[in-house]
Amino acid sequence: MAKTWVLQTQTKGTGATMVPLESILRKPGSDAVEDFALPELRRPEPDDEPRQPHVFKVVDVMTREVLAEDADARSTVAVLEDVPSIVDVTVYVWDIKVERWRMLTFGETKALWEYRGHLQEQAEPAASPSG
């Protein structure tokens, strides 16, 4: 029976080489190790204290004026409603563990930014059909 050859491209800069298919499929040392088992997965134990809501601080980039401090998420989004561009502010969150403000990444800030305009929709009651 003829051997099947394949092109191996995982060489160290020397180019591709032709190798038997068996050498690719079965690597030396890939046999299962006896008495090896991964630890049993367990759910993390629930904290005794409930998680506290995040507290934010919003600072204007140009004037360094604090637009909001110790604000909850809803108030922070309300402050962002009046900001013309996402890059005009820096948003921080209070990190309880190290007791200091941590600047949000652009992605985290964008997540807050995308809630702009949606809070008013939730606050307005649904129009009831008049009959």
Position 93 scores a pLDDT of 97
- Residue ranges per structural domain of the chain: 56-123
Phi-psi bin for 123: left (phi > 0), alpha (psi -120 to 50), beta? alpha
Distance separating alpha carbons of residues 119 and 61, to the nearest angstrom: 24
pTM of this structure: 0.58
Tokens in use for 92? Answer: 């921080």
- Reported as a single tens digit per residue, the pLDDT across 21-40 is 877 776 656 566 777 888 88
* Structure-block tokens of residue 87: 């890059």
Mean pLDDT of the region 102-124:
85
